[in-house]
């Protein structure tokens, strides 16, 4: 069976720089790669420090890019984005900055449009069932309960007319 050989620190830096040049990466992503490449753990901090120093890793830049992409392309709400960034061990202050970069009117419009689309696919006529399906849908996307309840109520009112 083929066993992976450990990589040198110099080669790890070069490989990590190439990874970071292709796509935005955070520190935890690179640490996982270094571990996968079998780089001795004592060298991980040296490689990470070098990447940060050379601006290949920037947690704030990563978080902002991640938040905008997940919002625009995956249609995630702020709660789900925040949770994903916490899993990547991003600092809370940086997460707040990234979430603040999302345009609030665009955010509300996305939520409303998605709820309207979902509403059009619901065949039930019972108001309670419709409401619960819409709330569950938006909550699973990571939108805040207050916003969800407000939008669902207005959609239910529109449906009655």
Q: Are 63 and 95 in contact (CB under 8 A)?
A: yes
| Alpha-carbon 7 to chain mean position | 30
- 108-126 mean pLDDT: 93
Question: Is pLDDT at 127 greater than 80 in this prediction?
Answer: yes
Q: What is the DSSP string of 116-142?
A: HHHHHH-----HHHHHHHHHHHHHHTT
pLDDT of residue 1: 53
User: Would you say residue 156 has pLDDT above 90?
Assistant: no
Q: What is the mean pLDDT of residues 41-49?
A: 94
Instruction: Place 6 in a pLDDT band, splitting at 50, 70 and 90.
Output: confident
Judge contact between 45 and 31, C-beta under 8 A. Answer: no
pLDDT of residue 125: 86
Q: Are 67 and 85 in contact (CB under 8 A)?
A: yes
Q: Which residue has the higher pLDDT, 161 or 5?
A: 5
* pLDDT > 70? residue 2: no
The alpha carbon of residue 18 and the mean position of all alpha carbons in its chain are separated, in whole angstroms, by 22
């Amino acid at each position: 069976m083929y066993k992976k050989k450990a990589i040198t620190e110099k080669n790890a830096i070069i490989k990590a720089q190439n990874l970071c040049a292709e796509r935005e990466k955070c520190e935890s992503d690179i640490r996982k790669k270094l571990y996968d490449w079998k780089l001795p753990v004592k060298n991980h901090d040296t490689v990470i420090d070098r990447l940060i120093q050379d601006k290949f890793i920037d947690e704030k830049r990563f978080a902002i890019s991640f938040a905008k992409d997940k919002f625009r392309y995956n249609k995630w709400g702020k709660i789900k984005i925040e949770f994903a960034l916490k899993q990547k061990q991003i600092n809370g202050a940086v997460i707040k900055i990234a979430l603040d970069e999302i345009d609030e009117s665009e955010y509300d419009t996305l939520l409303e449009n998605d709820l309207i689309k979902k509403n059009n696919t619901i065949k039930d006529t019972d108001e309670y069932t419709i409401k619960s399906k819409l709330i569950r849908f938006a909550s699973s996307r990571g939108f805040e309960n207050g916003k969800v309840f407000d939008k669902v109520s207005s959609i239910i009112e529109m449906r009655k007319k």
